[in-house]
Amino acid sequence: CIRDREYFEAMHKVSTNVNTVLTRLIEVHETYQRKPALEMLDLTMEVVETVEKLEKYAEGQGIEFETVLGAEGPWKSDKHLLNLIIENMVRNAMLYKIRVGARVTIKTEYRNEGLVITVEDNGYGIQPGDEPKAFNIFFKGSPMPGGTGLEIYISKIAVEKLGGHVKLLRPKKNTIFEFTMPMVEN
């Protein structure tokens, strides 16, 4: 029966959404509990590998990815937390992309003896007045379906674990999130 199939499809969609939220909540908890394990990383390789993984995931979605890697060479950080920041911010951009001409740009640079990572997208954006809520748990700046409202929040926790901070530079048009992390000595 058609109604039975529609019912089971709806139940499958709801259970998938609940599973996604639970998975992200576990990620929030694990990030809060994690003590950074600092090691020397090849920053360029970490960014490129994370973006390539997400490009494969986004294949066929019409998203153009660009990386501008001005910060090259070794960087002392927690590999898991660094990748978590990039992955969740790019995932957020992918979830709230525009339909045609979607673009995500990841930039790295050294500034004032620290690392700055910016993630810029031309997606739906954060609406005027919602800027202060952008880093709140479960906040979704878009009425579009999908996403958990945890992607930006997880990135914020991860960057704070690394002694850094994040800010929203431009809430509409192209949305830009800037993550700044201090250099870690020994």
The whole-number pLDDT of residue 160 equals 94
Tokens of 86: 């990039």
And the tokens for 145?
A: 């379906």
For the stretch 42-84, pLDDT in tens is 989 999 999 898 888 777 778 888 999 998 888 899 999 999 9
Question: What's the pLDDT tens digit per position in 85-118?
Answer: 998 888 888 887 777 788 899 999 999 879 999 9
Q: What is the DSSP letter of 36?
A: P
In this structure, what token pair is assigned to residue 154? Answer: 């997880």
User: What residues pair up with 111 in beta bridges, in sequence order?
Assistant: 114
Output the average pLDDT for the chain.
84
Q: Do the beta carbons of residue 116 and residue 83 sit within 8 Å? A: no
d(CA 74, CA 43): 6
| pTM of the model as a whole | 0.82
Amino acid of residue 114: G
Residue pair 176/185 in contact (Cβ under 8 Å)? The answer is: no
